[in-house]
Amino acid sequence: MLTIKDLHATVGGKEILKGIDLEVKSGEVHAIMGPNGSGKSTLAYVLAGREGYEVTRGSVIYKGKDLLAMSPEERACAGVFLAFQYPVEIPGVNNTYFLKAALNAIRRCRGQEELDAMDFMHIAREKMKLVHMKDSLLKRAVNEGFSGGEKKRNEIFQMAVLEPSLGILDETDSGLDIDALKTVAEGVNALRGPQRSFLVVTHYQRLLDYIVPDFVYVLSDGRIVKSGDRGLALELEKEGYGWVEEAVGT
Amino acid sequence: MSAVVAGTDDPYVQQFAELSGRLPGSAVPWLHRRREEALDQFSRLGFPTTRDEDWKYTNVRPIIKRPFELASECCVGLVEDDLGDDLLPELEAHRLVFVNGRLAPQLSRLGDLPEGVSLDGLARLLDSEPESVETYLGRLAKPSAYGFAALNLAYMTDGAVLRVGKGVAMEHPIHLLYVATPQAAYMGYHLRNLVIAEEGSRAQVIEHYVTLGEAVCLNNVVTEVAVGASATVAHYKLQQESEKTYHVATLEVQQVEASRFDSYSVSMGGALTRNDINASLDAEGAHCELIGLYVAGGRQHVDYHTRVHHLRPEGTSREFYRGVLSGRGRGVFNGQVYVHPGAQKTDATQSNNNLLLSPDAEVDTKPQLEIYADDVSCSHGATVGQLDPEMLFYLRSRGIPEPMARGMLTYGFARDLVERIGIAPIRHRIEVELTRRLPNADVIEVE
């Protein structure tokens, strides 16, 4: 589904990603771990197409297409979804209206018929249950005045409605208490399936207790310095990132 | 022609003798005197120029270039169907419709006015019972303020006069619809409204300006509002005239103790629009809230000048203004707050946020506080910015195409302010109009 080769990227002229190689197949969950500043979030943004993140070398092939040549909205239409670490508040734009517009835009590219308000609400109500989101949040402006936990739930809720093929979770666990973390993780697990893959970017391993990955990578200074299975995450929990960095001599 | 002083050779001054006999109440001596005095003021003041600090950014040359003829033809056979959504069919209201500066009774629907409330056309009152308006007319909005107000008082043809008696809380708003349907180019309308809310009363008044047709015209409006003790008046103004209209308006508000005045003003039409909103809080514990939205694209120019005078202690005022400028559109906001000596415990805030959507759009924003008391709390803030790239990316990352994302954010910026408007049909009318006028917003479905 996703093949990343020798990916280099700069932000504001500074090289952050220094050659990433990664292969994600349908249905797999890959966890990307690493200390602050290692380039985890940069990788997430580069894949979603954020402006200001310049790819200087390498390639990203997604479902056989050059992902880097696509605009953010084209990527979304092709099934890429980024759950933001810091979801932005958008005053004046109603949450329901926004999500309905997004779903219909994606349905248009997929050649599906657009949904009317009633059909949309039917789907929305169903998906809200996944993350135990309050009905009232639908009526508010996008993320405006939401608590940290509500914002993260809203991200997973959007993902559930938009049904992407590749979900990228950028530090979805940050700022969540253990109950909210469990709820969000259960929401993600409910979306797992043979046709859907996930890249889970996280600093801490505790999220991986709930979203169990197939592969774990450690990113350090823009490179993948270690890879393994779930056991690697547990080791990191015990030893800290210093252990990896020492081991690879960075 | 020098615009500094109109002088006696000014066409408006010269025509007066000939036209004054046709103006309402021409046989009423005090009124004729007031008109003459106002004309005299006008001939001394003339039209403002950009050398005048209050008109620095708004050049009224296009209005001065040639005189606008006093419109005399009223209703030109208009029927309700011609007005469509502008009648706000969803709104239960007492409605007066004015066409080309004069009351059109056949389009008006007064409905059942509560006891103690009178609502009438100014022209009719000036001819039948002029004494009923003598105390206030031209006394709140002083003709000495500047040329347009003086010209209005000299030439006023009609408008609404609302009096809400002591303790009467009106359930339904008053909808005043002003239709300009100029039959020729360079027609001028001088409308004057008067609202008197007596002690403890409550009223909501909507001034709504629309144009049918595309001829160049001038709308020179003055509205005077007296808010009695513990009375509440909410004033809504919706300006959606054609882009060939010049619209100059003064809203003059006098407040006494524990009164409340709310102004919601939305300007989207007009080639050049100037709104002066002046509130005098002349007794303890008065509260006023001024909320406004201006939208200018193409070559439109829109200017809001607000002046809040805190004259007595414990008054509060709040101002929230937003502007969206695109194309070569130009916005001006000048918010003046005066805290006069002795007006202790005044609490005044002001904010003005602007969205510039094109490199040629422009806004001049100037908050201005003058404080002559020492125990007060006053603050102001102004911002000018573009659409937030983070918000844009967020929407696009969900599949929303960029133009639509821009439209949604622009609309959201405006709507965030419009949400403060409590009367749903008005809010809806504004939202629909916003989707027509804001760049990229035509794809927005109004809920």
Q: Which domain holds residue B445?
A: 388-447
- Domain annotation covers residue B1: no
Q: Which chain A residues have a beta carbon less than 8 Å from that of B404?
A: 101, 105
C-alpha to C-alpha distance for B301 and B294, rounded to whole angstroms: 10
B277 in contact with A, Cβ within 8 Å: no
Nearest residue on chain A to B389, alpha-carbon basis:
A51
Nearest neighbour of B400 by CB, restricted to A87, A101, A141: A101
Residue contact B409–A75, C-beta within 8 A: no
- The answer to whether B415 contacts chain A (CB < 8 Å) is yes
Q: Say if B354 falls within a structural domain.
A: no
Per-position pLDDT tens, chain B of length 447: 334 456 667 889 989 988 989 899 999 999 999 999 999 999 999 999 999 999 999 999 999 988 898 877 777 789 999 999 999 999 999 999 999 999 999 999 999 999 999 999 999 999 999 999 999 998 888 887 889 999 999 999 999 999 999 999 999 999 999 999 988 889 999 999 999 999 999 999 999 999 998 889 999 999 999 999 999 999 999 999 999 999 999 999 999 999 999 999 999 999 999 999 999 999 999 999 999 999 999 999 999 999 999 999 999 999 999 999 999 999 999 999 999 999 999 999 999 999 999 999 999 999 999 999 999 999 999 999 999 999 999 999 999 999 999 999 999 999 999 999 999 999 999 999 999 999 999 988 887
Residue A227 neighbours by CB distance under 10 Å: 14
CA-based nearest residue to B321, from B355, B371, B359, B298? B355
Q: Does B442 touch chain A (CB under 8 A)?
A: no
Q: Identify the burial level of B288 via C-beta atoms within 10 angstroms of its C-beta, where 0-12 means exposed, 13-18 middle and 19 or more buried.
A: buried
CB–CB contact A94 B399 (8 Å): no
**CA Rg value for chain B:** 21
- pLDDT reported for residue A116: 94
Point out the domain boundary residue: B248, B283, B318. Answer: B283
Contacts A87 to B, Cβ<8 Å: 394
Q: Tokens 């006015």 belong to which residue?
A: B113
Q: How far is B442 from chain A (nearest CA, A)?
A: 13
Does a structural domain hold residue B243?
A: yes
Number of residues written out for chain A: 250
Residue A126 pLDDT: 93
Q: Is residue B70 part of a domain?
A: yes
Q: Which CATH architecture fits A2-248?
A: 3-Layer(aba) Sandwich (3.40)
Q: Could you list the beta-strand ranges (E) of B377-439.
A: 377-385
Of A171, A183, A217, A215, nearest in space to A197 by CA = A215
Residues of A in contact with B394 (CB under 8 A): 84, 87-88, 90, 142
Classify residue A189 as exposed, middle or buried by CB count within 10 Å of its CB (0-12, 13-18, 19+): middle
- How many other CB atoms sit within 10 Å of the CB of residue A56? 11
| Residue closest to A45 by CA, chosen among A17, A18, A86, A82 | A82
Q: Does A212 touch chain B (CB under 8 A)?
A: no
Out of B399, B405, B447, name the one closest to residue A97 (CB).
B447
CB contact under 8 A, B400 and A77: no
Residue A218 has pLDDT above 60, yes or no: yes
Please check whether residue B387 touches A, CB under 8 A: no
Q: Does A90 touch chain B (CB under 8 A)?
A: yes
Say how many domains are in chain B.
Answer: 2
A12 touches B: beta carbon within 8 Å: no
Nearest-neighbour CA in chain A from B266: distance (Å): 17
Contact A102 B396 (CB under 8 A): no
Contact A93 B408 (CB under 8 A): yes
Q: Is A73 an interface residue toward B (CB < 8 Å)?
A: yes
Contact call for residues B11 and B18 (beta carbons, < 8 A)? no
Provide, for chain A, the percentages of residues in helix, strand and coil under a 3-state DSSP scheme, each rounded to the nearest 5.
Answer: 40, 30, 30
Q: Dihedral (C-alpha) A186, A190, A195, A199: value to the nearest 10 degrees?
A: -10
> Whole-model pTM?
0.93
Q: Are B333 and B323 in contact (CB under 8 A)?
A: yes
- Asked if B400 and A102 come within 8 Å (Cβ–Cβ), the reply is yes
Domain membership of residue B292 (yes or no) is no
Q: Which residues 172-201 in chain A show a CB within 8 A of chain B?
A: none
Determine contact, residues B118/B198, Cβ cutoff 8 Å. Answer: no
Cβ distance of A90 and B404 shorter than 8 Å: no
Are residues B390 and A51, on separate chains, in Cβ contact within 8 Å? no
What pLDDT does B2 receive? 36
Interface membership of B430 toward A (CB under 8 Å): no
Chain A contact set for B388 (CB, 8 A) = 88
Residue spans of beta strands (DSSP E) within B75-159? 94-99, 102-103, 117-121
**Cβ pairs bridging A and B (under 8 Å):** 84
> Is B291 contained in some domain?
no
Contact state of A101 with B393 under an 8 Å Cβ cutoff: no
Owner of token pair 């010209």: B151
Q: Scanning every residue of chain B, which has its alpha carbon at the shortest distance from the alpha carbon of A87?
A: B394
Question: Among residues B283, B310, B337, which one ends one of the domains?
Answer: B283
The shares of helix, strand and coil residues in chain B, as percent rounded to the nearest 5, are: 25, 40, 40
Q: Does the CB of B321 have a partner CB in chain A at under 8 Å? A: no
Cβ of residue A124 closer than 8 Å to a chain B Cβ:
no
Per-residue pLDDT reduced to its tens digit, A59-79 = 999 999 999 999 999 999 999
Backbone torsions φ then ψ of B246, nearest 5 degrees? -100, 125
Does B318 touch chain A if contact means CB atoms closer than 8 Å? Answer: no
Kindly report the nearest CA distance between residue B209 and chain A, in angstroms.
Answer: 26
Dump pLDDT digits (tens) for A19-36. Answer: 999 999 999 999 999 988
* Contact assignment for A71 to B402 by CB distance below 8 Å: yes
Question: Does the distance separating the beta carbons of A75 and B411 come in below 8 Å?
Answer: no
Q: Is pLDDT at A244 greater than 80 in this prediction?
A: no
pLDDT confidence of residue B144: 79
- Chain A, nearest residue to B406 by Cα: A93
Segment A232-249 mean pLDDT: 78
Inside any domain, residue B301: no
pLDDT of residue B5: 56
d(CA B148, CA B222): 9
Q: Give A-chain residues touching B399 at CB under 8 angstroms.
A: 73, 76-77, 102-103, 105-106, 109, 162
Compare all CA atoms of chain A with the CA of B388 and give the residue at the minimum distance. Answer: A90
A73, A81, A84 ranked by CB distance to B400: nearest: A73
What would the pLDDT profile of A156-212 be if each residue is shown by its tens digit?
999 999 999 999 999 999 888 898 899 999 999 999 999 999 999 998 888 999 999
Residue range A184-193, pLDDT digits in tens:
999 999 999 9
Which residues on chain A are in Cβ contact (under 8 Å) with B416?
91-92, 141
Distances B203 to A207, B138, B345 between C-alpha atoms, Å: 57, 21, 28
Q: Is B388 on the interface with A (CB under 8 A)?
A: yes
Closest residue in B to A107 (Cα) is: B399
Q: Give, as one character, the DSSP assignment of residue B171.
A: S
Nearest to A76 among B398, B409, B411 (CB): B398
Task: Using only the alpha carbons of chain A, give its radius of gyration.
Answer: 18
Rounded CA-CA distance B204/B93 in Å is 10
Interval A109-132 mean pLDDT: 93
Q: What angle do CA B33, B176, B81 make, to 5 degrees?
A: 130
Closest CA to B411 of B294, B324, B300, B315: B324
For residue B71, tell me if it sits in a domain.
yes
For residues B126 and B119, give the distance between their C-alpha atoms in angstroms, rounded to a whole number.
Answer: 13
Cβ contact, residue pair A75, B397, below 8 Å:
yes
| Residues 6 or more apart whose Cβ sits within 8 Å of residue B313 | B284, B342, B343, B344, B345, B346
Domain limits of chain A? 2-248
Task: State residue A14's pLDDT score.
Answer: 95
Determine the distance from the C-alpha atom of residue A125 to the mean position of all C-alpha atoms in its chain, rounded to a whole number: 22
